[in-house]
Amino acid sequence: MRIVEALRKQKEVLGISYESIAIRSGVGIATVKRAFGGQDISLERLEKIAEAIGCQIGIKATISANNLYNAQIEKKAQEIVKRVMQTSALEDQAVDAKAQAKMLTQAKARIAKMPRSQVWG
């Protein structure tokens, strides 16, 4: 929704009408109005509308790919250790915190060696 808000602000500053945006962008006026109303339109049309009012739509990563990848390794390792802990508890073989931490470290090391595509599965 931040994109639409930014486009609205630019439209207001320019004092440009929906009709003028439609003409400049080559997009129908109904689509322009839907875009500014926050309704779904194609990314291609939204980019044309943005360009018509001097804006550019982009993607900005909120977390680095490496940090996201490492967080996924951590998550997957936590899931594995959790399953082991649950099974151990069912069998009355609870594991202490030190052993649990060691299992987590080992699980992360094994997961890190997997092909990247498998880490996300």
Taking phi over 0 as left and psi of -120 to 50 as alpha, with beta for the rest, 10 belongs to alpha
Number of structural domains the chain divides into:
2
Task: Tell me, yes or no, whether 115 and 74 share the same domain.
Answer: yes
Decide if 109 is inside a domain.
yes
Model confidence pLDDT, tens digit, residues 66-99: 999 999 999 999 999 998 888 776 666 777 889 8
Does 80 share its domain with 107?
A: yes
Q: What is residue 63's DSSP assignment?
A: S
Pairwise pLDDT comparison (84 vs 104), residue with the higher score: 104
Residue length, the chain? 121
Q: Is residue 60 part of a domain?
A: no
Decide which of 28, 52, 76 is a domain's last residue: 52
Contact 73, 109 (CB under 8 A): no
Task: Note whether 86 and 109 are same-domain residues.
Answer: yes
Give me the domain span that covers residue 93. Answer: 65-119
Pick the closest to residue 10 from 42, 44, 37, 36 (CA basis).
Answer: 36
Is residue 59 assigned to a domain? no
Rounded to 10 deg, the angle between the 29-36 and 43-52 helix axes is 90
Instruction: Record the pTM.
Output: 0.64
* 44 within some domain: yes
For 12-42, what is each residue's pLDDT tens digit? 999 999 999 999 999 999 999 999 999 999 9
Check residue 62 and report its DSSP letter: S
The CATH number of the domain holding residue 26 is 1.10.260
Token output for 7: 């486009």
